[in-house]
Amino acid sequence: MVGQRSAPILSQSDFDMPETTSSSRRRALKLLAGAPLLPVGAFGAAPAWAAPKGATLTSARFVPMAAPTLAKPEEMATTLVRSALEIAYSDGSKQTYQLGYESFFTTGDQVPDGHGGQTLAGGYYDIHNKPIMDTSGPTPRQFYSDCPDGSSLIRLARPAVKGVKGNTVFAVVQFEYTTRNLKGDEMYGRLPSPIAVLTLDQDPKTGALTLVKYHNVDTSKVKGLWITCGASLSPWNTHLSSEEYEPDGAKPGSAQLKAFGANLYGTADHAANPYDYGHLPEVTVHPDGTGSIEKHYCLGRISHELIQVMPDQRTALMGDDATNGGLFMFVADKAADLSAGTLYVARYTQTSSQGVGAGTMQWIRLGHATSDEIRALAAKLTIGDIMDVAIQDPNDASYTAIHYNGQPNWIRIKPNMEKAAAFLETHRYAACVGASMALTKNEGTTVNIKDKIAYSALANVVDSMVKGGRGWYEGSGIALDRKLQAGGILAHKMQGGQKDTKGQPIRSDWVPTVSSTLLTGKDIAADELGNTAHPDHIASPDNLKFSEKLRTLFIGEDSGNHVNNFLWAYNVDTKELSRILSTPAGAESTGLHAVDEINGWTYIMSNFQHAGDWDKKGFHDKVKDKLDPLVKANYKDRYGASVGYITGVDLRARGT
């Protein structure tokens, strides 16, 4: 259904009915003028509910919600928000906003295309922009994703989209993959990821957002997109996407890559080149609600999860969601231009083996390149042109022993191929030159600008991070005492005036130098629901975003350790951790984007993926029988997923 929405919370008994009960919620929205998350009068706008005269905001506190239980299984089978936001002002007064959830659409809905017609939300298209059809079931239909992920909310100076009655706001939403076809066969990484620009009509009085236009971005010129995961908004107002789990250059004929190429090109005869994927796509939104895309080849071919560009508009810190992954940094030649620059990787000296570790960092310069020159190398080189790779010890001193994706490799760089190796075989090359390639599932990155601290999410502290684990090796600089399946978050202090390991200056004032554990999850024996991580602690943090004005780190989970994954708010001043949203059982919390202000309103964007993903989570024996029918009823037999945002109602509007 187009624009299906759950309106703001009405009363304690109305908390988070399933999203299918949207009609009454829409009527309530009109009656109560519910505000998306927070009307930020204290931040310099003129909202519906203004701050007290002469007062300024002094603090923000998220009032936590309890985790859902099987006492109300319907609450475990939908997006649930029972949290609140309490704002304190300099005159001692407070305002409280009850939080709720609004959905723009569920994937698989028919939504407006902006030209009087309809289009499929989350639909897949090939290199010719033709719908990719799922013919595995009795009735063929266009593939659509159940895995929306990274999102950005964008405002342009002179928008020009028909049908907008209030303020025009744009959102970019990418779709990581689809879980299965109609037959039930796995489809992970076998379809080119779609990415869409949404035109949203923002009500000037309430801040409410309504979908007006859905535009599918043409990705043909970048040869399609590969497993687009987390995303961020650049300081220059573009959407920075990702291509996760880059295909192995040593396995160009893998079944996954062949299936991807067949779906992308519409024929099994046209193979996809692994070197065209694992890069950084950037989407530019245009005033007419369309978007264009380019892919930057010079930021390293790694498992790009989520990039964070610093306020200098040149320095980028990159998550690397891999086993034997690294912490990578890119310093662009020019501000607001990622088409050329220098790539670095960290080398750690561990100072603590507790939690998710602590240590100091030096930076190894991998090389300088332009996107154009690496794209040209990608078109003509294979891994055999760049390096020799062995998976068993060749007993040859000219080879270097490394670990790649948890497995031993021995590599030998071909003469004059260092640049190609650095930018096309980045994981192998970084290990070869001495980087600390031992991180596991280094996912979201974000920055606290005021304190000059960056944050990195480690979804699981296992394998190569733990002494003796799979992929661990002496000399990595990382050797934790024990695995922590629930993972944690690292905080990195950033400084200027740094030099690389060869003594050359790094032209940035935003270089991570010291890391420490900020938060960890807590592994437990399975509880009555099947949780294997304590439900009152984070588990497998993934998406991270920081709000400067709320002084809050938002944390989205990708965890098989929690039956329901959660979205958390962590106040970096008070150290309070608050659960603010629960996703449907088996789903992952994705699409996180914290927006301090657009036309006087603050937003938290939030999606989820693969509701009811029982097979991969390991807790199906305890909850599946009760929850599976409810999840299927709410989300198109588990083929659909929501794209939306957190809302808020000022309780004074209800005479509270």
* Full DSSP string of 337-405: EEEEEEEEEEEEEEEE-STT-EEEEEEEEEEEEEHHHHHHHHHH--HHHHEEEESS----TTSEEEEET
Share of the chain above pLDDT 70, in %: 90
Q: Are 568 and 579 in contact (CB under 8 A)?
A: yes
Q: Which of 417, 425, 412, 282 is nearest to 345 (CA)?
A: 425
Q: Are 471 and 324 in contact (CB under 8 A)?
A: yes
Q: What is the 3-state secondary structure (H, E, C) of 574-604?
A: CCCEEEEEECCCCCEEEEEEEEEEECCEEEE
392 class by beta-carbon count within 10 Å (0-12 exposed, 13-18 middle, 19+ buried): exposed
Rounded to whole angstroms, how far apart are CA atoms 96 and 125? 44
Residue type, 445: T
Rounded to whole angstroms, how far apart are CA atoms 34 and 560? 34
Q: Give the pLDDT mean for 258-285.
A: 95
Residues 117-132 pLDDT 10s = 999 999 999 999 999 9
Residues 314-373 pLDDT 10s = 999 998 999 999 999 999 999 999 999 999 999 999 999 999 999 999 999 999 999 999
Structure tokens at 512: 């991570």
Residues 292-302 pLDDT 10s = 999 999 999 99
Rounded to whole angstroms, how far apart are CA atoms 121 and 146? 10
Rounded to whole angstroms, how far apart are CA atoms 139 and 143? 12
Asked if residue 134 is part of any domain, the answer here is: yes
Residue given tokens 């130098």 in the structure block:
513
Asked if residue 110 is part of any domain, the answer here is: yes
Whether the pLDDT of residue 5 is over 50: the answer is no
Residues 59-73 pLDDT 10s = 899 999 999 999 999
The confidence score (pLDDT) of residue 150 equals: 96
Rounded to whole angstroms, how far apart are CA atoms 514 and 495? 9
What Rg, from alpha-carbon coordinates, does the chain have?
24
Q: What is the 3-state secondary structure (H, E, C) of 321-334?
A: EEEEECCEEEEEEE
Structure tokens at 260: 């991807």
Q: Give the pLDDT mean for 463-474.
A: 94
Rounded to whole angstroms, how far apart are CA atoms 336 and 339? 9
Rounded to whole angstroms, how far apart are CA atoms 104 and 647? 12
Rounded to whole angstroms, how far apart are CA atoms 326 and 349? 14
What per-residue string of b and e applies to 601-613 under the rule 16 or more CB within 10 Å gives b? bbbbbbbbbbbbb
Q: What does the mean pLDDT of the chain come to?
A: 90
Rounded to whole angstroms, how far apart are CA atoms 426 and 246? 10
Cα-based distances in Å from 327 to 246, 295, 507, 536, 554: 16, 21, 18, 29, 21
Strand (E) positions, 502-600?
511-520, 541-547, 552-557, 566-571, 577-582, 588-598
Rounded to whole angstroms, how far apart are CA atoms 565 and 121? 24
Cα-based distances in Å from 643 to 55, 256, 484: 35, 27, 31
Q: Give the pLDDT mean for 102-117.
A: 96
Asked if residue 144 is part of any domain, the answer here is: yes
Q: What is the DSSP string of 86-117?
A: EEEETTS-EEEEEEEEEEEEETT-EEE-SSSS
* Domain that residue 282 falls in: 101-295
Asked if residue 60 is part of any domain, the answer here is: no
| pTM for this prediction | 0.92
Greater confidence (553 vs 12) lies with 553
Asked if residue 233 is part of any domain, the answer here is: yes
Contacts of 506 (CB under 8 A, 6+ apart): 331, 344, 363, 498, 499, 500
Give the dihedral of Cα atoms 554, 152, 506, 572; nearest 10 deg: -20
Asked if residue 193 is part of any domain, the answer here is: yes
Residues 187-219 pLDDT 10s = 999 999 999 999 999 999 889 999 999 999 999
Asked if residue 248 is part of any domain, the answer here is: yes
Asked if residue 162 is part of any domain, the answer here is: yes
Q: Are 170 and 285 in contact (CB under 8 A)?
A: yes
Q: Give the pLDDT mean for 76-81.
A: 96
Whether the pLDDT of residue 7 is over 70: the answer is no
Q: What is the 3-state secondary structure (H, E, C) of 613-629?
A: CHHHHCCHHHHHHHHHH
Rounded to whole angstroms, how far apart are CA atoms 166 and 394? 67
* Sign of the dihedral defined by the CA atoms of residues 295, 299, 301, 303, in that order: negative
- The kind and range of the H/E element at 447 are strand 439-448
Rounded to whole angstroms, how far apart are CA atoms 288 and 158? 9
The confidence score (pLDDT) of residue 29 equals: 30
Q: Which of 338, 363, 337 is nearest to 349 (CA)?
A: 363
What residues are paired with 517 via a beta bridge? 490
Residues 219-232 pLDDT 10s = 999 999 999 999 99
Q: Phi/psi at 2 (nearest 5 deg)?
A: -70, 130
The total domain count for the chain is 1
Whether the pLDDT of residue 450 is over 90: the answer is yes
Label residue 312 by pLDDT band (50, 70, 90).
Answer: very high
| Helix/strand number for the chain, H first, E second | 9, 35
The confidence score (pLDDT) of residue 319 equals: 87
Whether the pLDDT of residue 171 is over 50: the answer is yes
Rounded to whole angstroms, how far apart are CA atoms 615 and 603? 33
Structure tokens at 179: 């879980």
Residue type, 44: G
